[in-house]
Amino acid sequence: MTSRPVLFGALMSAVVGLVYWAAVSGMLGGGEPWDAAAFWTLAYPGALLLSAVLGFAMPTRAWIWGVIVLFAQVPVVVAVSGAGPLLLAGVLYAAVLAIPAALVSGIAGWIRRRMRGAATR
């Protein structure tokens, strides 16, 4: 595999993730996405769905797309709240939340690769 699909996927995941988390923050009136009351019921499941879609659309190293989508929260938080003393805690929080997203996007990419392999038989 060349690095071109990976670079494209990383760029797309970063842009889509930043737009998604900025929209979530905007809908909250400018708050940090992970502080929202609807984070666990809407925002995080939406990010997992977005990770699955990206993994299915770009199956090459698909697990990375979920990680990038979840870490895209961090620049949005810095833009909204600034880089305060709790930023490191936020980065660690994003890292933990990125684990299920990596699994979801990786499984979606695996499904896509299996479908592609079945179609060529």
Q: Tell me: the pLDDT tens digits for 12-61? A: 999 999 999 999 999 887 788 888 888 999 999 999 999 999 999 999 99
pLDDT above 70 as % of the chain:
95
DSSP annotation of 34 = G
Residue 120 is predicted with a pLDDT of: 59
Contacts of 76 (CB under 8 A, 6+ apart): 18, 21, 22, 25, 32, 33
* Stated length of the chain: 121
Q: Which of 73, 83, 86, 75 is nearest to 36 (CA)?
A: 73
Residue 109 is predicted with a pLDDT of: 96
Single-letter amino acid code for the residue at 54: L
Helix (H, G, I), strand (E, B) or coil at 58: coil
Identify whether the C-beta of residue 107 lies closer than 8 Å to the C-beta of residue 55. yes
pLDDT at 108 over 80: yes
Identify whether the C-beta of residue 5 lies closer than 8 Å to the C-beta of residue 64. no
Domain boundaries, the chain: 4-119
Identify whether the C-beta of residue 95 lies closer than 8 Å to the C-beta of residue 42. no
